[in-house]
Copies of this chain bind each other. A is one copy, B any other.
Amino acid sequence: MKIAELSKLTQVTSKTIRYYEEIGLLPEPARAANGYRVYQQEDVERLSFIRRCRDLQIPLEEIKKVLGCDHGNACEGHNNHVDDLIAAQLERVKKAKIELEALEQTLTGLLDGCDDKNSSQCNILHNLRAH
């Protein structure tokens, strides 16, 4: 199949597919006589997996490790554990959530008249607001 079909099947744009190839996340596909990329069924599976990971906001580097494409490894095997991948991502997400929680509180506090006048954050923002 050509790149447009792979794109449709995986919901990943042609642009992104070429990008993944460039960074070594997808193997270089065969080429037709006219130079067009030719993909196989296994490419659909591999790219679908990548797509799902990206939906989970797992960084490309992490996905690369699990797919075994790093360190000159020619992207053949699946040696690492998907569970670890997911667990690591869950940790990142939890951490990010905690940070956003704190941010939300600070912002809400600033909007609610900034009761905590001891906060330097508050003071500076208000000084400049009064300007």
Contacts of A106 in B (CB 8 A): 56
Contacting A93 at CB < 8 Å: which of B93, B100, B129?
B100
Q: Cβ of A23 < 8 Å from any Cβ of B?
A: no
Q: How far is the CA of A107 from the CA of B57 in the complex (A)?
A: 10
Q: How far is the CA of A104 from the CA of B97 in the complex (A)?
A: 9
Q: Cβ of A2 < 8 Å from any Cβ of B?
A: no
Using CB atoms and an 8 Å cutoff, list the residues of chain A in contact with chain B. 45, 48-49, 52-53, 55-57, 78, 81-83, 86-87, 89-90, 93-94, 96-97, 100-101, 103-104, 106-108, 110-111, 121, 124-125, 127-129, 131
Contacts of A94 in B (CB 8 A): 104
Give me 20 A-to-B residue pairs in the complex whose CB atoms sit less than 8 angstroms apart, sorted by A's number: A45-B124, A45-B128, A49-B125, A49-B128, A52-B124, A52-B125, A56-B107, A56-B121, A57-B103, A82-B125, A82-B129, A83-B129, A86-B107, A86-B125, A87-B111, A90-B107, A93-B103, A93-B107, A97-B97, A97-B101
Contacts of A82 in B (CB 8 A): 125, 128-129
Name A88's closest neighbour in chain B (CB-CB).
B107
